[in-house]
């Protein structure tokens, strides 16, 4: 149970951390503020999940224990969320893929047999609904914009596509949770996810990467095998606590 909660929390935290890196660097003020707020929403969801995990585990654990006191192999987030921001098109493509997944996932998680997870899902869904609208609108705006913006967003979609399959590939922990009714069957979400992506790309006059469907996909994050980028991300995020253990504001 706790490993499943940490998987969900890690997804939200690492995704939120990546988006927070845009703070002060957005292409326009409106986008800068939007990305910062979406980052805060995800970090807030991660906090709720970490708090729940700490309550279950006990042993003096707090919500800060999990982000700051674990090594890279102990994080179980999908690889997609740890990918670098790249340019704005890369970030929007990653957001479209993950926001669509989160929207469907939290919708289904509301029916979890675990009341606390269902409650967190209900609150998070309200926020993710906006996140998905934001990433869809910018995908459409870039796809139907200039020749350069269209080329950039199409390239980003093609490059990140191989990281999307992992979201729907259940780990052993997820399979156990699905069997007990705590977790939704993530494989069943894939057709709906593909429909959201397909409809968005069609409206954006972009090409759906059909040739990549069913192809081999990148995975490993759910079992703690991450990309080289994850180590650098954690080095920055955990710096203060690793340098000054127990430091408090």
Q: How many domains does the chain have?
A: 1
Tokens of 133: 């609208």
Q: Which residue range is the domain that position 217 belongs to?
A: 2-243
Q: What is the dihedral of CA 109, 111, 116, 120, to 10 degrees?
A: 40
SS3 call for 49: helix
pLDDT score, position 247: 77
The size of the chain, in residues, is 249
Q: Is residue 131 part of a domain?
A: yes
Q: Is residue 249 part of a domain?
A: no
Q: Is residue 108 part of a domain?
A: yes
Q: Is residue 134 part of a domain?
A: yes
Helix 88-109 to helix 147-160 angle (10° resolution) is 50
Neighbouring CB atoms inside 10 A of 133's CB total 12
Check: CB of residue 185 under 8 Å from CB of residue 192. Answer: no
* Predicted structure pTM score: 0.95
pLDDT, block means (10 residues), the chain with 249 residues: 97 98 91 95 98 93 93 97 97 98 98 97 97 98 96 97 96 97 97 97 92 75 97 94 81
User: What DSSP line would sit under 81-119, residue for residue?
Assistant: GGS---SHHHHHHHHHHHHHHHHHHHHHHTT-SSHHHHH
């Amino acid at each position: 149970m706790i490993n499943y909660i940490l998987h969900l929390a890690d997804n939200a935290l690492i995704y939120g951390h990546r988006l927070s890196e845009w703070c002060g660097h957005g292409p326009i003020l409106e986008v800068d503020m939007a990305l910062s707020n979406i980052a805060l929403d995800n970090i807030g969801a991660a906090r709720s999940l970490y708090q729940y995990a700490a309550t279950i585990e006990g042993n003096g654990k707090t919500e800060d224990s999990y982000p700051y006191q674990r090594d890279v192999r102990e994080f179980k987030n999908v690889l997609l969320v740890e990918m670098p921001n790249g340019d704005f098109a890369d970030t929007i493509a990653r957001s479209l893929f993950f926001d669509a997944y989160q929207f469907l996932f939290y919708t289904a998680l509301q029916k979890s047999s675990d009341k606390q997870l269902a409650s967190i899902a209900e609150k998070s869904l309200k926020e993710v609904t906006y996140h998905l609208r934001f990433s869809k609108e910018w995908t459409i705006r870039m796809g139907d914009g200039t020749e350069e913006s269209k080329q950039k967003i199409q390239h980003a979609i093609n490059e990140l596509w191989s990281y999307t399959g992992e979201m729907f590939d259940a780990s052993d922990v997820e399979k156990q949770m699905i069997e007990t009714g705590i977790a939704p069957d993530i494989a069943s979400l894939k057709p709906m996810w593909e429909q959201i992506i397909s409809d968005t790309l069609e409206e954006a006059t972009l090409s759906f990467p059909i040739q990549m469907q069913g192809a081999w996909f990148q995975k490993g994050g759910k079992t703690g095998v991450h990309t080289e980028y994850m180590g650098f991300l954690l080095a920055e995020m955990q710096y203060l606590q690793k340098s000054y253990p127990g430091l408090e504001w």
